Every structure is written in structure tokens, then in C-alpha cells.
Structure 1
Amino acid sequence: MPYLPGVQGVGRLDDGTPLWFSTTAGMRPGDGSMAEYCVLPAADVVTLPDDVDHTLIAALGLSAVAAWVTLTSRGEMRQGEQVLVLGAGGVVGQVALQVARLHGARRIIAACRSTAAQERARKRGADAVVALTDFDDVESLAARLPEACDGPVDVVLDPLFGVPAAAALRTLNAHGRLVNLGSSAGEHAPFDSATLRSRSLRLLGYTNNELSTEQKARALRVVADHAAAGRLVLDYETTSLTDAGEAWSPQADGRATSRIVLTPDGTTCRNT
């Protein structure tokens, strides 16, 4: 069968049952989700409630799963803790801000690059926003971050790594946790041994690829339940599957302002 890119999607069975599914596209040879019909193992599908916006679930998808598991499981976030979300204007970051609020964070700080990203973070509930710039070094960013915090931070969600991760480590409380799930700001971070050792910090890695089928399905069901209740939201726009190449151009060069969802029937809309 042909290789069809796309790692997740929402569809219906022949009997009309709505479901979400993930694929191994991009990880190994096989079919993806950019098609009107997809063939995949029954274990890889998650039945969705009828009262949820299924396009919203497609937009949230694995990004929401990553944000949810990173904070609640890998990062072991507890009620009353202070949370710092790096790259908070992205999809994972926006969901993480909402997850932190749902789990009782006492203060949530967002760090973002662009003005638009900063506005998205405020819209999703950040108590304070710190601007990231291309000129930041560890010392200057580490000096600015605490100004937005109410004392030391307990958990950092980090899809950036590089300088932002090194600076965020310095904000952590004793036994604080930084969970990394990306490297868009750099493959290497200039942090020092003394910072890690002095407060017995934990630097943790996370990937959705490590989740079992059951763990992924369980997280997605929780995300869907919160979305159905209006507690998890995200801006998205839809476009026709036939226009996938054109639609993905702004996504690839960083100009996209919302998540793009492809639809096989050509329906287009914007949800903000």
C-alpha cells in the first residue's frame, strides 16, 4: 500500500462510530492518516463521545496527550505547585497551560518567542508571560524568569531545550523537575553540574513513542472528556485534503497561527 503521511486522525467506522486513531507514519514504513480511508489495527483506535467537537480532538491529538502525560505522570505535578511552560504559544504549550490549571497549579508562567505566541499563552490562562528572544543567553534569561515567578518553580515543561532549558533549570525549587520533550531551540543545553546537584534537581526526558497502546488511549480519553466539557480548547482551522501541501507551508516556516486539520470533504473553517 502507498505511504500516506500524517500520524493521527479522527474518522468514523462504517456504522458511524466516531473514533480517534494514531499511526506509525514517520517512524517506520506504513500508511498514515492523510487519506479518505485508512486501514489500521483495531487496538490503535479510541472511540470518541458524540458530544465533543471531533475536529477539535484531531487538533489536540498527540500534542495534548504529550502535554497531559508530561505534566501529570512524568513530571508528577501536584496541586499547589508553580509551573513554567517553555514554548507556551505552541500546541503542546497551550494545552500544558490548561492542564496545569486543571491540576491545581497555584501559578503558571509561560515563556514564548513572538508577540502572537505570548497572546495565545495569555488566552490559555498563563498568570505571567516572559518573552524569549533570539538574543537571550542563559544569564539574562535566568535573571528575567524569576521576575514572573512567585518564588521557585516546581515543574518545567520544556519542548525547546537549548538556552531556555538551561535558564529554566535555575528557577527550580529543591527536587524540582524539568521534563524535556523537544529541541526546537537547540540540541544542546549549556547547564552546569552545580545547578543540578545543589538542589537535587531532576532532568527528565519524555516521548509519546514510549506509551503503550493502552496508555495512549487512556490519555486521549481524558483529553476528549475535558474537551467535551469545554475545559480544553485550542484554535484550529480546517482545509481540504487536496490542498495539504499549500496548507502546510505556513506550518513549516513558523507562520501558522493555529493548528491545521485536513478534511477529505473539502470543508474549510476557522475555530478561535
Structure 2
Amino acid sequence: MRAAELREPGRPPVVADREAPVCGPGQVLVEVLAAPITPLDLLCATGTSYFGRPATPYVPGVQGVGTVEGRPVWFATPAGMAPGDGSMAELAVARAENVVPLPDGADPVALAALGLSAVAAHMALTWRGELAPGERVIVLGAGGVVGEAAVRLARAAGARRVVAGARSPAARERARRAGADVVVALDTDDVAALAARFAEAADGPVDLVLDPLFGVPAAAAARALGPGGRLVNLGSSAGETSPLDSATLRSRSLRVLGYTNNELTAGQRAEAIAEVAARAADGQLSVAHETVPLADAGHAWQRQADGAAGGRIVLVP
């Protein structure tokens, strides 16, 4: 079979012929239809993540969409986090508990682009953040896959007002297309100035901030929260620390909550994938993505790593 093979940490994979995988106990064979290049794939492949240096060579791809005995499925693998191969190949193996049935007719590329990023957005908003209809929401990093999905999901959940924060002009345009009422430019490190922008855009006290960034944007957005407001953090691309001030937290009795997909049970994850698939099928959920042949995996990998892609790149055999 053909597969993207990562031979050296820190370098793009090389497409090569490999032996087809053989299932072990508790595993199933998946015919891969679509495999996204995700931030987790890129991180693991550097060899500098908290998972340690991966055993090379290996096939990257922590998730994908394919078929098992002709039935459409979403599946996850530990590629890059533990020894073994992932989804960026014509065939892959996955543990049975990491395989989720999908409805017939599901778009494999669109669902691969959404994947666990949309799961994170959905669960951080509804499960961790307890979003209720009629609430005001700020979504930071709204030009990324998690943020773009969160804007659409918040709108579908009946949010009264959705304010998006994004850095680049292209990211702000993606947030607008996703349905944000107002898009705030995250182009300053002045917390007070940025907080004023959020307050004006929200047009009232904010109930929930979804934060994949942390750093200055999180501190500024927190100042727009009303009494009892919640900030759910699920990333740190703007900084590992944030200048959140004690007066803001205490004066409004704010809640700052952490979220990671890693805390989900297999059942919770399966339910979330099913919800994402349903929202995608009825047109309420999508994210910007590109489809690239598996044969061009090396170049696509570099473009995704450099931020030069027009959204999430999805490889197809």
C-alpha cells in the first residue's frame, strides 16, 4: 500500500510503499478515505512534545475517516504518541473502541476536516462551558478549525450574540463567514485596549468565552464577562501564561475552566462525533479545508506547518 512515512522528526513525511497492516487482537482494518493533517500530528512529529520522540519510521495521522467492511466510520489512532502507525495511508488499523460508525452518505473529507477539533469546540461549549440559548459568547482564535467550528456551533445552539477574535485578515474573514456577529482584531498586546474592543462588540455582559489561545487575548476577553461568567481554555497558542488579574476574577466571581479531549470517555467521544456528523449533514457545521492527494503529503505537510494552507488539509488516497 502507499503511505506517508515519517522517517526523521522535524522533517515532512515521504510517500512510500509499505506492507499492508495486519490487525492484532481488538483491532479492525480501515480502508482510509480521508486523513487530516492536524496540529497534534505536527507536534508529535517534532519529537519535542510531552509524548517524547516518536519511534521512526511511522505513518502519522491521529484520526481519519474510512470504511470498515464497507461501512463508513471515523477512527482514531495513537500515531506519534505511542508506537504504531496512523491514518495517512491507504489502509490503517485502529482499536475497535476508537472506531465510530458514521451515517451513510457522510462526506468523508468534510468530517475528517472537522474531526476532533469540532469535538473539542462542541464539548467545550456545551459540556464544559454549559452554553445556554440566549447567552453572549466570545470565541477566540476564531479563524482556526476549533474556533471556526465553535462560532458555527454557538450560533446553532441559539447564542444571542457571537463575538469572534482572530489575528490575521484571512482568519477574520473565515470567522465572518462562519457567522460571527462581530469580529475583533487580535492585533495588540494592550490588554485594556483589547478588552474595550470586546466590550463594545459584545454589546452587553458576556456569559462564556471559548479560549484556544490564552495569553493576552484571554485576559482581555475575561474583562468582558459578566457576573458568574465562564472562560473555558483549551489551548495556549498565544502564550502559556496569561495576565488575568485577580480583581477581574474576584469582582465578578468568574469561573476559569480547562478542557481537553483526552478526558472524554470513548462513549462521550463517540456521541460527540455523532453530533458533529449530524450538524455537518444538516449544513450547520463546516470548516475551511483543502483536499490534497496522498501522493503530495510531504508538500502538504510543510504547507500546513507553515500556516500557508487555506484551512485544514485533508489527504485522500
Query: In the alignment, does 2:299 pair up with 1:256?
Result: no
Give the letter aligned to residue 157 of structure 1: L
Q: 2:127 aligns with which of 63, 66, 73?
A: 73
The residue matched to 2:138 in structure 1 has which SS? Answer: strand
User: Paired residue for 2:147, among 77, 88, 93?
Assistant: 93
Partner AA of 1:121 in structure 2: A
Structure 2 counterpart of 1:167, one-letter code: A
Is the Cα–Cα contact under 8 Å of residues 145 and 288 in structure 2 kept in the other structure?
Answer: no
| AA aligned opposite 2:133 | Q
**Could you tell me how far apart the structure 1 residues matched to 2:79 and 2:218 are?**
29
Match of 1:174 among 189, 208, 227: 227
Deviation per CA, 1:108-130: give whole Å up to 9, x if none: 00011111111111101000010
Residue 65 of structure 2 corresponds to: 10
Q: Distance in 1 between matches of 2:145 and 2:123?
A: 14
Q: How does 1:151-170 map to 2 (within 5 A)?
A: 151-170=204-223
Query: Over aligned residues, Cα RMSD in angstroms?
Result: 1.2
Match of 2:165 among 100, 106, 111: 111
SS of aligned partner of 1:40 = strand
- Whether 1:41 aligns to 2:87 is no
Calculate the TM-score normalised by the size of structure 2: 0.80
Distance 2:230 2:195 in 1: 16
Equivalent in the alignment of 2:51 = none
Report how far residue 34 of structure 1 moved: 1.2
Report the CA distance between 1:166 and its aligned residue: 0.6
Q: Aligned equivalents of 2:303 and 2:109: distance in 1?
A: 20
Question: Distance in 1 between the 2:84 and 2:266 partners?
Answer: 17
The answer to whether the Cα contact below 8 Å between 2:212 and 2:233 also exists between their aligned partners in 1 is yes
Mapped pair 1:227 → 2:227: no
Amino acid at match of 2:291: T
SS in structure 1 opposite 2:103? coil
Name the TM-score, length of structure 1 as normaliser: 0.93
Q: Is the 8 A contact 2:216 2:242 kept in 1?
A: yes
SS of 1:105's equivalent in the other structure is coil
Measured after TM superposition, the shift of residue 51 of structure 1 is 2.3
Residue number in structure 1 paired with 2:197: 144
Report deviation, 1:30.
2.5
In structure 1, distance between residues paired with 2:266 and 2:139: 27
User: Which secondary structure does the structure 1 equivalent of 2:123 belong to?
Assistant: helix
Give the secondary structure class of the aligned counterpart of 2:92: coil
Equivalent-residue separation in structure 2 for 1:28 and 1:175 (angstroms): 40
Partner of 2:24: none
For residue 97 of structure 2, what is the amino acid of its counterpart?
A
Aligned twin of 1:270: none
Task: Give the counterpart letter for 1:32 in structure 2.
Answer: G
The match for 2:257 is: 204
- Pairwise CA distance, 1:181: 0.6
Counterpart CA distance in 2 for 1:148 and 1:47 is 40
C-alpha distance in 2 between matches for 1:51 and 1:85: 31
**Structure 1: unaligned runs, 5 residues or longer:** 265-272
Aligned residue identity for 2:63? Q
